[in-house]
Amino acid sequence: MTKKEIKALISLLDDIDYEVASHVEGKIVSMGEGIIPFLEEEWEETLDSDLQKKIEDLIHNLQFDGLLQRLKAWKEGGGLDLIEGMWLVNTYLYPDVELATLTKGIEQLYFDAWTQMKENMHPYDQVKALNNVLFREKRFSANTKNFHSPSNSMMHLALETKRGNPLTLCVIYLTIAQKLDMPVYGVNLPNLFILTYKKGDVQFYINVYNKGLMLSKTDIDNYILQLNLNPVDIFYEPCSNLEIIKRALRNLAFAFEKTNDLEKATEVTKLLTAITDDDPVI
């Protein structure tokens, strides 16, 4: 369709004939996210608040459907790029933020950390050096004041404000660590996402939310005991990128529940289901 034809189609959204308006909506949805700039243009030009609301809903639905498909494609592709996965979660609330924004922030932090690394450093010294860069020089820290805010799950905001929840801070940390060839991975501990340094017979844990505090297996044992849980492998061993993104979506859905935005909580749960179940999401 030409630009003129698309604008003519969009102008029929407020047709008094319900069937015509409904048919037009269906046609617009079938055209996918490419039509969003034309919808935004119409939104700016019209003074009809009802039409603006209809356009806003259409844009959101188009963006949501696009995100759903991109998340599924990311999973089916093996979930290899963790930053891309976090960016996809990010785009639920901030669809205009680009992946390059996240990668650029990570690259700068990586360079700063790389300058502090020396050859044949002991694993503990590697972690201490990375801790020094992130928590002393760059002043990253836990966002305890707005822990349940949905924005606390947004990685671009964690990079920008240097505040985040355990998961966003851990993803930043482990991404930089892995770029430095450090064998650091995520661990799905109950109520607290942490990292593990694991190579051969060497394994210890890193609590990024507590400024990179190093922990032993005994510390993890005691933590699990305090929660009255049985120790299982998942609490000690590295988890996949897919599991990290699932947890990011669970955190976001829970944040919306805590802020009584049940509509968004339901949508995010649908995104989670799309990469959890084998059955297609309808």
| pLDDT tens per residue, range 216-259 | 999 999 999 999 999 999 999 999 999 999 999 999 999 999 99
Query: Given pLDDT bands bounded at 50, 70 and 90, which one contains residue 145?
Result: confident
Query: Are the C-beta atoms of residues 182 and 196 closer than 8 Å to each other?
Result: no
Query: Given pLDDT bands bounded at 50, 70 and 90, which one contains residue 282?
Result: very low
| 0.75 exceeded by pTM | yes
pLDDT value at 278 more than 70: no
Residue pLDDT, tens place only, 166-213: 999 999 999 999 999 999 999 999 999 999 999 999 999 999 999 999
pLDDT value of position 18? 73
31 vs 278, higher pLDDT: 31
pLDDT value at 107 more than 70: yes
If you average pLDDT over residues 139-158, what whole number do you get?
A: 90
Residue with tokens 């339901």: 266
pLDDT value of position 37? 83
Query: Are the C-beta atoms of residues 103 and 84 closer than 8 Å to each other?
Result: no
Q: Where are the domains of the chain?
A: 3-76, 82-274
Q: At CA 242, angle to CA 237 and CA 248, rounded to 5? A: 95
pLDDT value of position 280? 42
Closest to 160 (Cα-Cα) out of 209, 206, 104, 213: 104
d(CA 139, CA 157): 14
pLDDT value of position 250? 96
The residues pairing with 204 across neighbouring beta strands, listed in sequence order, are 197
